[in-house]
Copies of this chain bind each other. A is one copy, B any other.
Amino acid sequence: MKLNDLKHTHWQLARRAEKMNPSVIREILKVTERPGIISFAGGLPSPQTFPISEFAQACDKVLADDGRGALQYAASEGYAPLREAVARMLPWEVDPAQVLITTGSQQGLDLVAKVLVDAGSRILVETPTYLGALQAFTPMEPEIVGVPSDAEGVDVERLGALSKDARFLYVLPNFQNPTGRTMSEARRSALAQRAAELGLPLVEDNPYGDLWFDAPPPAPLSARHPDGCIYLGSFSKVLAPGLRLGYVVAPRAIFPKLLQAKQAADLHSPGFNQRMVAEVMKDGFLDRHVPTIRALYKSQRDAMLAALQREMQGLDVQWNTPDGGMFLWARLPAGMSAIELLPRAVEKNVAFVPGAPFYAQEPDLRALRLSFVTATHEQIDRGIAALAQAIREQARC
């Protein structure tokens, strides 16, 4: 019954799809899944932090209490008690009606792009910026412009010239992916002020803010300027990513459009998962749970810093000291490319992510991202030693 192909089906791709190309890095990183590789590459939370028994209890309770409700279609906005819990935990006054539950905060980025970006629209990002945000924004075909940035965040002085007709500035102020850096209080204050002066919308992404090591980061930009900010949050780093739940807090001017885009994208995020998370969060569970993640990740960061200190002796390698989160940013000796180093590192059974794809414009080819949270201390020691060896060999080529 199958037809012979009478004429080759004409799959005419959209312009945006022509731009989607398999990432070279993704191809290389597939190798990192083979056994024996020590991976500093992934952005995976440590699975030992996942509260499995609490989730198991929550599943049972959700299905026993109202299984039919949990398994039925539901409102695109999200499950009301979860929206209320999100509003309560944020450090500024948020009406639950402004909270949209999303399928991970990645979806928040997709919705923001759909609602605010036309083909050719200018949008501003940090230098470097979160790769997943670039991937989410790109299908809407914006002109993406990187704002020069330093260890404290974006250069606020440069915003005036760059922000003309810009639809928004996307920032990840806390323990940024990829650099691990945190925007200082002074920079936040200046940025919020300048954005308000310019009328420039801010999209503030905060997946890692709760994962601070010694002291909480300064208040979010959204707390300073709520009508000028869209805020994205996530349960992936404080509970577990496999439930795919995040949220967007949006000003009333924008919320209805985001909601309509959400409905068109996937109708709603899984109601069952939303009830599970609402159930687990009851009785202040996060207040007890998140400190254990902080302590673990801090010890992991310290292990990586100690290993770098020990192994990179005599090599012109630089790195920063993140105050929280999952990532550390390093810079190879002058003239060395992280992309070229990667295959040699993988040969030595260690992997990282080159920094280049995180740049909207000219990449820093020497930069690389190291995740310190998934590997054990012993793996960190071995992996950093192997990385140092790879750099040493590469330097001799």
Q: Determine how close the nearest CB of chain B comes to the CB of A204; give it in whole angstroms.
A: 13
Which of A173-181, A190-198, A343-351 touches B? A190-198
| Complex-state Cα separation, A317 to B270, whole angstroms | 39
Within 8 A of B (CB), among A233-256: 236, 240-244, 251, 253-254, 256
List the one stretch of A217-225, A283-291, A303-311, A353-361 in contact with chain B. A217-225
- In the assembled complex, the Cα of A243 lies from the Cα of B63 at a distance in Å of 12
* Cβ of A358 to closest chain B Cβ, rounded Å: 15
| Given A240-B71, A242-B272, A268-B244, A2 contacting B223 (CB threshold 8 A) | yes
Give min CB distance, A239 to chain B, whole Å: 8
**A43 interfacial contact with B, CB 8 Å:** yes
Report the stretch among A99-107, A334-342, A383-391 that lies at the interface: A99-107
Of residues 110 through 138 on chain A, the ones whose CB sits less than 8 Å from some CB of chain B are 110, 114-119, 121, 132, 135-136, 138
13 A-B residue pairs with Cβ-Cβ distance under 8 Å, sorted by A, are: A2-B225, A3-B224, A6-B193, A7-B197, A9-B228, A9-B251, A14-B117, A22-B260, A71-B242, A114-B139, A135-B260, A138-B264, A270-B273
- Which residues does A use to contact B, with CB under 8 Å? 1-17, 20, 22, 42-45, 47-48, 50, 52, 55-56, 59-60, 63-64, 67-74, 92, 102-104, 106-107, 110, 114-119, 121, 132, 135-136, 138-140, 167, 192-193, 195-201, 219, 223-228, 236, 240-244, 251, 253-254, 256-257, 260-261, 263-273
